[in-house]
């Protein structure tokens, strides 16, 4: 950055800028978490089946995942103010389209428009933190971001369940509109630019390869869980995704000004934290997929009861984020990550012995324990990796980090569903082979389902151990100078 840009940043009032951007991120993430609970109502309203309705989340994930790699270019091409206000205006348009949707295709269109905004907001927010705060204060800043961002998925399902019990589904979208308009108005008044722009041109070949590669990969993994890994559509889309990403990677390495600068991987701590984040993201998806299935399908709890069970842990996680940020600034990410992952492994172990009589209080306590573990390392781990990158790679680093987690989430979803389905089938066959013992088939299906979910949690422990081992290799490193980008990789860490 030039001296003049640095001077401008030093004079910026960080409070208003961060507040506006955090609120924007809060509502986009809140909106992202509402569809799981709302899906049954929407299926009834539009007379659609579950596979069709699932596109409200699958399509959202695809657009979100495809757009995140583009944000590295967008954050260098456009100012913070331009990009944030454009993203929020796109989100407003998508919300209005969704609210007035007379049919399912129109509602899906609105959701896809909303997803385009969400894919931009989070990487932009993280990049702003990196620009506004020096490395020794970024942990505290990221902790504050975590406080707000974690509250969104914490209250999203619970509030959605409450609203849908009383009001029509359109309320979920109409209720967002005044808040989005207020954020846009405040953005026009208070938001300042915090980074320089460059007159770089969009490389259309990279854009096409990125869209095909990441889009096909995310779709393939999302379908693998339900259709099976041997399905021809799954195999073809995964193959197209891998080929697209391989060609995209090759093009970024030969371009003078890459669309997504992969030189970030030449820095050892950034690479290590990205790998750990991907592995632990797969483990984290257990809560999002397995627990609702156990609570609602196997145990018969309502969506609202399931949401309330998850609420204390999620709120506790949000409240811990600022304190964890300060601990990171003082001690670094290594021991926070080791302790956090260890807590997750221990609490996850308690989910490997679920039954039809496991108490609600026990589930709340163990779920809260998992969330405490997550709070200890989520923001510190990502911040530790980004802190090593020179300033010119911050935009690309945030895009790479978020893209990797998006892909890991898709892998985690398909892996969890595959393991659970396979183990449930095995348990059911064993029960039927051993005789019914007076039990109805419905009861055996329920028991097999619970045992399949328990087995899947055990598989998550094995995967989680990988991240625990890798965490011991974390260390504190200084931010690399810009000159390091032209040196050999062996001298850059």
Q: For the segment 372-418, what is each residue's pLDDT rounded down to a tens digit?
A: 998 898 888 988 999 999 988 888 888 888 888 888 887 887 788 88
69 touches 214 (CB < 8 A): yes
d(CA 399, CA 70): 8
Domain ranges in the chain are 1-200, 204-256, 263-493
Residue 338 has pLDDT above 70, yes or no: yes
With CA atoms as reference, report the closest residue to 270 among 472, 479, 442. 479
The top-level CATH class assigned to 263-493 is mainly alpha
User: How is residue 472 written in tokens?
Assistant: 């011991």
d(CA 314, CA 371): 6
Is residue 10 very low, low, confident or very high in pLDDT (cuts 50, 70, 90)?
low
Residue 200 has pLDDT above 80, yes or no: no
d(CA 9, CA 80): 12
d(CA 229, CA 385): 33
437-459 burial, b at 16+ Cβ within 10 Å, e below that, comes to eeeeeeebbbbbbbbbbbbbbeb
d(CA 467, CA 341): 7
Mean pLDDT calculated for residue range 470-479:
90
The top-level CATH class assigned to 1-200 is mainly alpha
pTM comes to 0.81
d(CA 123, CA 386): 12
State residue 15's pLDDT score.
82
413 touches 220 (CB < 8 A): no
With CA atoms as reference, report the closest residue to 265 among 408, 468, 404, 74. 404
How far does Cα 250 stand from its chain's mean position?
Answer: 26
Query: CA torsion 178→184→187→189, rounded to 10°?
Result: -80
Which residues, other chains included, contact 334 with Cβ-Cβ below 8 Å and sequence gap of 6+?
471, 472, 474, 475, 476
Q: CA-based angle 64:310:293, to the nearest 5?
A: 75
Mean pLDDT calculated for residue range 89-109:
94
d(CA 474, CA 162): 43
Range with the largest mean pLDDT of 25-39, 115-129, 158-172, 460-474: 460-474
Phi-psi region of 389 (alpha: psi -120 to 50; beta: other; left: phi over 0): beta
Is residue 11 very low, low, confident or very high in pLDDT (cuts 50, 70, 90)?
low
Mean pLDDT calculated for residue range 353-373:
89
Task: Write down the H helix ranges in 79-176.
Answer: 80-99, 104-132, 138-166, 171-174
Mean pLDDT calculated for residue range 324-331:
89
Give the CA radius of gyration of the chain.
23
Task: Write down the H helix ranges in 266-393.
Answer: 268-292, 303-331, 334-349, 360-388
Residue 186 has pLDDT above 90, yes or no: yes
d(CA 196, CA 2): 8
Is residue 75 very low, low, confident or very high in pLDDT (cuts 50, 70, 90)?
confident
Which residues, other chains included, contact 289 with Cβ-Cβ below 8 Å and sequence gap of 6+?
412, 413, 416, 417, 420
Task: Write down the H helix ranges in 204-231.
Answer: 204-227
- For 255, the 3-state DSSP assignment is coil
Distances from the Cα of 409 to the Cαs of 139, 278, 286, 402, in angstroms?
Answer: 24, 8, 10, 10
How many residues appear in the chain?
Answer: 493
**Block residue for tokens 């770089």:** 200
Question: Does an H or E element contain 462, and which?
Answer: helix 441-471
Mean pLDDT calculated for residue range 41-48:
85
Q: Kindly report the number of other CB atoms within 10 A of residue 378's CB atom.
A: 24
278 touches 404 (CB < 8 A): yes
Which residues, other chains included, contact 119 with Cβ-Cβ below 8 Å and sequence gap of 6+?
63, 64, 65, 66, 67, 68, 70, 71
Same fold, 1-200 and 263-493: yes
CA-based max dimension of the chain: 80
Torsional sign, CA 199, 204, 209, 212: positive
With CA atoms as reference, report the closest residue to 291 among 354, 349, 344. 354
**Which stretch of 103-112, 177-186, 419-428 has the lowest confidence by average pLDDT?**
419-428
**Which stretch of 97-106, 254-263, 271-280 has the lowest confidence by average pLDDT?**
254-263
Mean pLDDT calculated for residue range 8-23:
80
State residue 382's pLDDT score.
86
360 touches 310 (CB < 8 A): no
């Amino acid at each position: 950055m030039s001296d003049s840009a640095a001077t401008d940043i030093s004079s910026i009032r960080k409070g208003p800028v961060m507040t506006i951007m955090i609120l924007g991120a809060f509502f986009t993430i809140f909106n992202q978490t509402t569809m799981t609970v709302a899906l049954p109502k929407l299926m009834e309203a539009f007379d659609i089946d579950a596979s069709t309705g699932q596109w409200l989340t699958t399509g959202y994930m695809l657009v979100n995942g495809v757009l995140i790699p583009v944000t590295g270019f967008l954050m260098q091409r456009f100012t913070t103010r331009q990009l944030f206000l454009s993203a929020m205006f796109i989100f407003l348009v998508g919300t209005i389209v969704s609210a007035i949707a007379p049919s399912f295709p129109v509602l899906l269109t609105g959701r896809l428009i909303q997803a385009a905004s969400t894919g931009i907001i989070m990487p932009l927010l993280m990049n702003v933190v990196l620009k506004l705060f020096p490395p020794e204060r970024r942990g505290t800043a990221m902790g504050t971001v975590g406080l707000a961002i974690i509250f969104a998925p914490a209250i999203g399902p619970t509030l959605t369940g409450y609203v849908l019990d009383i009001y029509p589904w359109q309320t979920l979208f109409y209720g967002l509109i005044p808040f989005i308009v207020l954020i846009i108005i405040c953005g026009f008044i208070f938001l300042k630019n915090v980074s320089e722009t460059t007159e770089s041109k969009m490389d259309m070949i990279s854009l096409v390869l990125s869209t095909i590669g990441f889009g096909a990969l995310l779709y393939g993994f999302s379908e693998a869980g339900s259709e099976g890994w041997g399905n021809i559509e799954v195999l073809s889309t995964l193959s197209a995704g891998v080929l697209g990403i391989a060609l995209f990677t090759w093009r970024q390495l030969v371009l003078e000004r890459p669309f997504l600068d992969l030189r970030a991987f030449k820095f050892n701590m950034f690479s290590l934290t990205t790998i750990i984040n991907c592995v632990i993201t797969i483990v984290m998806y257990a809560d999002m997929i397995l627990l609702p299935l156990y609570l609602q399908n196997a145990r018969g709890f309502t969506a609202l009861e399931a949401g309330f069970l998850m609420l204390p842990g999620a709120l506790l996680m949000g409240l811990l984020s600022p304190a964890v940020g300060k601990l990171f600034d003082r001690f670094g990410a290594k021991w926070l990550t080791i302790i956090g992952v260890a807590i997750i492994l221990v609490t996850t172990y308690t989910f490997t012995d679920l039954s039809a009589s496991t108490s609600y209080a026990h589930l709340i306590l163990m779920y809260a324990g998992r969330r405490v573990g997550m709070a200890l390392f989520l923001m510190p781990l990502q911040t530790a990796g980004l802190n090593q990158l020179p300033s010119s790679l911050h935009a690309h680093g945030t895009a790479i980090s978020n893209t990797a987690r998006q892909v890991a989430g898709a892998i985690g979803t398909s892996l969890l569903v595959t393991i659970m389905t396979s183990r449930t089938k095995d348990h059911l066959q064993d029960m039927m082979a051993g005789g019914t013992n007076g039990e109805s088939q419905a009861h055996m299906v329920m028991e097999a389902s619970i045992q399949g979910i328990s087995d899947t949690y055990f598989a998550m422990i094995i995967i989680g151990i990988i991240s625990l081992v890798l965490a011991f290799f974390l260390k504190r490193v200084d931010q690399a100078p810009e000159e390091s980008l032209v040196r050999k990789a062996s001298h850059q860490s």
